[in-house]
Amino acid sequence: MYNPLSSDSLHVCVESLKKNAVIAYPTEAVFGLGCDPDSEEAIMALLKIKARPVEKGLILIAANYQQLLPYISDEQLTDEQRERMFSHWPGPVTFVVPSRAPRWLRGQFDSLAIRVSNHPDVQQLCLAYGKPLVSTSANFSGQEPCRNVQEITAQFGNDFPVLQGVTGGRQNPSEIRNVITGELIRQG
């Protein structure tokens, strides 16, 4: 059941993002860790928390497609490829698209994974911040992803900025597809 998020936690998260901090927030299946995609400092902090190499690349999650345009090479997509994405959005499907994003976002690739979420808290957070967020599962390497605020607090501590809310109830993380080839990269 969806609970409206606390406006206090929304304010705390937006202010934390402005200060290059990493935050936690509910997504369709699990809590995500996120930060400002334009801050190399914030992304390096997130990668350190996750013990994740920069080469793997990251996902951007957004309230709408327009928020993603500064990070992707939309002009390389056909109308059919755009329609493939739009037919799944907003929703729990991530697409890998050609990218103009900096290396700290796309890793070793010339592409970037993007998603327009249908989770109301993600929508509200991205609209309040005015741009997409980096999105990766909220967990330390080797541990299960957090599925509620209590698990976030247990793994990351009481002072970690977290958007109060609940996940969308999905069991699996988002499906990932290559928008150019249609190839399924990760089953959702």
Any idea what the CATH number is for the domain that residue 137 is in? Answer: 3.90.870.10
For residue 24, give its domain range: 7-186
Confidence of residue 47 (pLDDT cuts 50, 70, 90): very high
Q: In sequence order, which residues have a C-beta less than 8 Å from that of residue 39 and are 6 or more positions away?
A: 20
When divided into structural domains, the chain yields a total of: 1
Q: How confident is the prediction for the chain on average, in pLDDT?
A: 93
Q: Reply yes or no on whether the pLDDT at 112 is more than 80.
A: yes
Query: Does some domain include residue 16?
Result: yes
Give the mean model confidence (pLDDT) for residues 94-120. Answer: 96
Residue 13, φ and ψ in degrees, nearest 5: -65, -45
Which is higher by pLDDT, 155 or 188?
A: 155
Amino acid at 121: D
Confidence of residue 7 (pLDDT cuts 50, 70, 90): low
Query: Does some domain include residue 146?
Result: yes
